[in-house]
Amino acid sequence: MPDDMLRAHINGVRHALAAGWRVLERGGPSVDAVEEAVVIMEDDETFDAGRGSFLNRDGKVQLDALIMDGATLRAGGVGCVERLRNPVRAARKILSESPHVYFVGEGAERFAAEHGVALCRNEDLIIPREVERLRAYQTQSSSGGDDLFAPAISHDTVGAVALDRDGNIAAATSTGGTLNKAPGRLGDSSLIGCGCYANNESAAASTTGWGEPIMKLVLAKWTADRIAAGNLPEWAAQESMNYLKERVNGHGGIIVLDKHGHFGIAHNTPRMAWALKTKNKEEAGIERQS
């Protein structure tokens, strides 16, 4: 995250926090709160979600998102969608109005349209900053030998976790994936237990970072399991980042919350923007603490 983007990131997560909090304050469910928070960040071009996302190898935006309700374990996910401004809205419709959990590509777009989520053109999701970023990346990588397993440029996925008055937790994650990804590549973000997970019996978690290593460790569920075993989210979040680094040389970040309101925020990258609010305090940050 370059220095000149810090303010935009902090503002973005603060706005998302306010939107989620408004839902909780009026007694709304945590699943609504995470949806509203993620919508704000999908609409914000600062982040790799919705409009302004990284472009794939073909110069298109392809989006993945998941939302999960920790009370019922209902979940909705979309993968590789190209015509949705807010994929988390479609994911939410799947959670609430479908017996299925996951839709991809055109089928996901059709489901969304049939359930009242407007479609857009792919061009509506593309911004000049990302056209230039892809061009620079492709020019530079065509001049050097490609390392197939080099870390992907992956950052700015968005996510939210929330606890409501009824004691239920939820999580949502939304992303444009990694820069120059192959068309049809699906990341961790929309996969249950990888980039997102929620279960009242353990924790709600959302991750960001290089998706392939995160997927291999089923990292959100791995972290939630540590909490179900009696550890605090703060410890589990840090431990998951250590595990990610040590086991598969991955990089990323995680936010985790349990139904008692204990939370953890950790990343093994230099920066990750986060914001949190409880009845007693509100905070936001960007730099690694340790």
Residues with a catalytic annotation lie at: 157
Query: Within the chain, how many helices (H) and strands (E) appear?
Result: 8, 11
Give the C-alpha separation, 102 to 98, whole Å: 9
- How distant is the alpha carbon of residue 238 from its chain centre? 18
Dihedral in degrees, nearest 10, Cα atoms 30, 92, 179, 215: 70
Nearer to ligand ASP, 76 or 211 (CB): 211
48 binds ligand ASP per the rule CB under 6 A: yes
In the region spanning residues 144 to 163, those forming contacts with ligand ASP, defined by CB under 6 A, are 154-157
Nearer to ligand ASP, 71 or 172 (CB): 172
Give the C-alpha separation, 94 to 106, whole Å: 14
Nearer to ligand ASP, 211 or 233 (CB): 211
Amino acid identity, position 248? V
177 binds ligand ASP per the rule CB under 6 A: yes
- Window of 88-96, 100-108, 184-192, 216-224 that interacts with ligand ASP by CB under 6 A: 184-192
Give the C-alpha separation, 273 to 285, whole Å: 6
50 binds ligand ASP per the rule CB under 6 A: no
The single-letter DSSP state of residue 3 is: G
Nearer to ligand ASP, 82 or 156 (CB): 156
Backbone angles phi, psi at 255, to 5 degrees: -120, 135
178 binds ligand ASP per the rule CB under 6 A: yes
| Contact map string, positions 201 to 230, toward ligand ASP, x by CB under 6 A | -------xxxx-------------------
Give the nearest distance from C-beta 22 to ligand ASP in angstroms: 26
Give the nearest distance from C-beta 80 to ligand ASP in angstroms: 11
Give residue for tokens 């972290």: 223
Amino acid identity, position 25? E
Residues that bind ligand ASP (CB under 6 A): 48, 154-157, 175, 177-178, 187-189, 195, 208-211
